[in-house]
């Protein structure tokens, strides 16, 4: 019996370390935007298909694609950055530098995750399947960018935006300016909060020749740039109200989102020690709030306004 409990304990620890490897809890940042794009795609193109087999089939594979793609990208990020992480006090306790997971385990997990992404893309439609290798290359490429450009934050933002754009493609099979506006909002939002998070590594990055907006322009300028990016992101999100003909519920959501943006930057203004709270808590609230009020607006229009 003791041997069984020992093996179970090892298994649960492996699962815990794997979830930590890919920061699975951070899926909450991008998945709500992908699901929002999914709902908007149906609302815009197939309003009569809500609740059908087609709807549920698509949403299941979109979630699988999002989770597996992000997990693969994070696994390879940890592998590519393992030597850097081992030297940085903030990151040296991560699973691979600490020795809790091996590099080989990370590689295998990343390959399996990307394979699941390709399968999910195949189940969605041909264009998603055809584009999946390019998506994998791009989101893996992000991990190298801080070695040669301070635009690494923008590359991360684009990687995040591929989620909602991919969800739209999964439903409609094509692109238009509407989803690109949402994608731009995610790029600006992701780049903005990643710039704030990079402040935590300012000393390490400058000492080791790594590139980031704080390392390039200084902490104060980086905070200003982040504020501008987030203001532009909020502007794009508000613009969605007009291009998708949403209702008052969405405006209520945008007021709340604007408050979260403001509070995020107030926390950073108050003390740089609040960056963790600003990064994890506020951005999680922003993405969830956006999804909740997009859903409320779409469903209200679908069931109470549309004939």
The pLDDT of residue 49 is 78
Asked if residue 306 has pLDDT above 60, the reply is no
Residue 22 binned pLDDT confidence (cut-offs 50, 70, 90): low
CA 243 to chain centre: 23
Instruction: Give the single-character DSSP code of 303.
Output: I
pTM of this structure: 0.92
Tally of CB atoms within 10 A around 304: 8
pLDDT tens digit sequence for 23-65: 666 667 889 999 999 999 998 888 877 878 889 999 999 999 9
- CA torsion sign for 174, 286, 54, 162 is positive
Place of tokens 């903005």: 192
- Based on its alpha-carbon atoms, the radius of gyration of the chain, rounded to whole angstroms, reads 20
pLDDT tens digit sequence for 122-179: 999 999 999 999 999 999 999 999 999 999 999 999 999 999 999 999 999 999 999 9
Domains, the chain: 25-305 (1.10.357.140)
Asked if residue 1 has pLDDT above 80, the reply is no
């Amino acid at each position: 019996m003791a041997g069984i409990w020992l093996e179970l304990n090892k298994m649960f620890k492996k699962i815990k370390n794997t979830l930590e490897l890919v920061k699975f809890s951070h899926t909450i940042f991008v998945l709500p935007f992908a699901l929002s794009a999914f709902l908007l795609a149906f609302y815009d193109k197939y309003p009569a298909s809500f609740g059908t087999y087609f709807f549920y089939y698509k949403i299941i594979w979109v979630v699988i694609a999002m989770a597996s793609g992000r997990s693969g990208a994070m696994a390879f990020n940890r592998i590519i950055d393992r030597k850097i992480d081992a030297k940085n006090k903030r990151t040296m306790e991560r699973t691979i530098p600490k020795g809790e997971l091996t590099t080989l385990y990370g590689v295998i997990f990343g390959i399996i995750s990307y394979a699941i992404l390709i399968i999910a893309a195949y189940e969605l439609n041909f264009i998603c399947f055809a584009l999946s290798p390019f998506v994998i290359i791009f989101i893996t490429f992000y991990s190298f960018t801080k070695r040669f450009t301070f635009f690494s934050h923008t590359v991360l933002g684009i990687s995040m935006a591929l989620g909602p754009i991919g969800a739209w493609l999964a439903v409609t099979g094509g692109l238009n300016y509407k989803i690109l506006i949402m994608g731009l909002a995610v790029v600006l939002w992701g780049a903005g909060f990643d710039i704030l998070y990079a402040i935590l590594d300012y000393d390490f990055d400058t000492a080791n020749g790594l590139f980031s907006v704080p390392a390039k322009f200084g902490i104060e300028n980086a905070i200003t740039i982040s504020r501008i990016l987030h203001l532009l992101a909020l502007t794009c999100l508000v613009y969605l109200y007009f291009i998708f003909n949403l209702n008052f519920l969405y405006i209520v959501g945008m007021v709340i989102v604007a408050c979260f943006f403001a509070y995020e930057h107030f926390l950073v203004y108050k003390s740089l020690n609040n960056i963790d709270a600003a990064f994890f808590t506020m951005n999680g609230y922003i993405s969830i709030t956006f999804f909740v009020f997009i859903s409320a607006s779409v469903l209200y229009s679908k069931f109470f306004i549309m004939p």
